[in-house]
Structure 1
Amino acid sequence: MTLRIQCIDIDCLDPFAVAAFWQEALGWRRTHEEPDEIVLEPPAGSPQDGVAPDLLFLRVPDPTPGKNRLHLDLRPEDQDAEVARLISLGAQRVSVGQGDKVSWVVMADPEGNEFCVLRPLPPEQQA
């Protein structure tokens, strides 16, 4: 069987604001836009293009009811610099009970959708 994930859907009150945050955060391109939905894809011709799932931002009338059941883990080259950059774009650090001794940073986008910023990969694991 051949099966691949086409897109990850993100429910939000304001898809334009949330998509704008993620577009800037990831450097992805907007490939589809309607009043209630926006699609972001990796940059055309990049190694992720056609491989990484698209992000689909859908307008829903209800706010996030609590902790996300699914979230993105992001792997930067410099964790501290990336956390600072994401905060400047409108993200914030959040606590989900992770404690102080973890290697990742839990954050939320402008509508409270949680995601994690991981440590960089060790040099021997970088491609």
Structure 2
Amino acid sequence: MSSPRITLGAINSEATDPEALARFWAAVIGSSQESAGGSVYLPPAQPGGLAMFFQPFNGPRPDRQTMHLDLTVPWGERRMEVARLEKLGATTRWHVLDEYPHVQWTTMADPEGNLFCLAEHPPKS
């Protein structure tokens, strides 16, 4: 039996304003924007990087978010990145700093209120 050959193509999201939300995420991940027909694609900024796709809402916004992104930064850079993302328009919702020895993270919301986490893992000793 061969192993699965599945990779993540892109994270897709509906947005009230796809262009504005794509601008925010392009700045977060260091990507460029490719717009067509009211939708926006952000190609990976580097090989193996994250690709994202934003399209207009086609129905009412769900009451509950069932998935979110977990982004990681090198150990010691989380606070600096949180500050950078706040300047881009994200809001900090809460921090999880002492609950787990293998990770610290900050839960944030993008400009449309979608939650995501920014985590750092201590170096392995």
Query: TM-score, normalising length from structure 1?
Result: 0.77
RMSD: 2.4
Matched, 1:65 2:68: no
Q: CA 1:3–1:90 in structure 2 vs 1: closer, same or farther (change >3 Å)?
A: same
Which AA in structure 2 matches 1:72? L
- Offset, 1:66: 3.1
Moved over 4 A (4+): 98-102
Q: Is the radius of gyration larger for structure 1 or structure 2?
A: 2
Q: CA 1:39–1:100 in structure 2 vs 1: closer, same or farther (change >3 Å)?
A: same
Give the gaps of 5 or more residues in structure 2: none
Is the CA contact 1:76–1:119 (under 8 Å) kept in the aligned structure 2? yes
Whose relative contact order is higher, 1 or 2, with alpha carbons under 8 Å and at least 6 apart? Answer: 1
- Offset, 1:61: 4.6
Aligned to 1:4: 7
**Alignment identity in percent?**
31
Task: Quote the Cα distance in structure 1 between the aligned partners of 2:121 and 2:83.
Answer: 15
1:38 pairs with one of 25, 37, 40: 40
User: Tell me, what secondary structure is at the counterpart of 2:73?
Assistant: coil
